[in-house]
Amino acid sequence: MNQRQVSAAELIRAGGAILGIELGSTRIKASLIAPDTTPLASGTYAWENQLKDGVWTYAIEDAWKGVAACYASLVSDVRASYSVELKTVAALGVSGMMHGYVALDVDGNLLVPFRTWRNNITGEACSELTPLLDFAVPQRWSIAHLYQSILDKQPHVARIAHLTTLAGYVHWKLTGEHTIGVGEASGMFPIDPRIGDWDAARMAKFDALIAPRKLGWKLRDILPAVLPAGRPAGKLTAEGAMLLDPSGTLPAGIPLCPPEGDAGTGMVATNAVRPRSGNVSAGTSVFAMIVLDKSLARVHEEIDIVVTPDGSPVAMAHANNGSSDLDAWIGLFGQVARALGVETRLDDLYGRLLPLAVRGDPDAGGLLSINYVSGEHMTGFTEGRPLFARSQDAKFTLENFVRAMYFASLCSLRTGLNILTEQEGVVIEEIRGHGGFFKGGDTGQRMMAAALNVPVSIPATAGEGGAWGMAVLAAFMLRADAGQSLPDYLDAWIAKSIGAPVRPDPHDVQGFEEFFARHKNGLAIERAAVKALS
Terminal Cα-to-Cα distance of the chain (whole angstroms): 58
Q: What sign does the dihedral 34-39-40-42 (CA atoms) show? A: positive
Query: Residues 303-336: pLDDT tens digits?
Result: 999 999 999 999 999 898 998 999 999 999 999 9
The answer to whether the beta carbons of residues 432 and 271 sit under 8 Å apart is: yes
Q: Is 509 left (phi over 0), alpha (psi -120 to 50) or beta?
A: alpha
The answer to whether the beta carbons of residues 436 and 323 sit under 8 Å apart is: yes
The answer to whether the beta carbons of residues 466 and 95 sit under 8 Å apart is: yes
**For the chain, what are the domain ranges?**
1-96+233-270+463-489, 100-164+189-222, 324-458+504-532
Q: What is the pLDDT of residue 498?
A: 82
Distant-in-sequence contacts of 341-348, Cβ < 8 A, 24+ apart: none
Does residue 463 have a pLDDT over 70? no
Query: Residues 48-62: pLDDT tens digits?
Result: 889 888 898 999 999
Domain 100-164+189-222 indexed as CATH 3.30.420.40 = yes
Torsion of CA 185, 164, 161, 119, to 10 degrees: 120
Burial tier of 431 (Cβ tally within 10 Å: 0-12, 13-18, 19+)? buried
The answer to whether the beta carbons of residues 252 and 237 sit under 8 Å apart is: yes
- For the domain 1-96+233-270+463-489, what is the CATH code? 3.30.420.40
Does residue 337 have a pLDDT over 70? yes
Share of the chain above pLDDT 70, in %: 99
CATH topology for 324-458+504-532 is: Nucleotidyltransferase; domain 5 (3.30.420)
Query: Residues 255-290: pLDDT tens digits?
Result: 999 999 988 998 998 888 988 889 998 888 898 999
Residue 95 phi, psi dihedral angles, 5° rounding: -125, 165
0.75 exceeded by the pTM?
Answer: yes
The answer to whether the beta carbons of residues 475 and 434 sit under 8 Å apart is: no
Q: Name, in order, each residue with C-beta under 8 angstroms of 383's C-beta and a sequence gap of 6 or more.
A: 120, 372, 374, 375, 530
Query: Residues 142-164: pLDDT tens digits?
Result: 999 999 999 999 999 999 999 99
**With bands split at pLDDT 50, 70 and 90, how would you rate the model's confidence at 493?**
confident
Of 350, 441, 455, 467, nearest to 70 (Cα)? 467
Q: Name, in order, each residue with C-beta under 8 angstroms of 265's C-beta and a sequence gap of 6 or more.
A: 20, 22, 95, 465, 466, 467, 468, 469, 470, 473
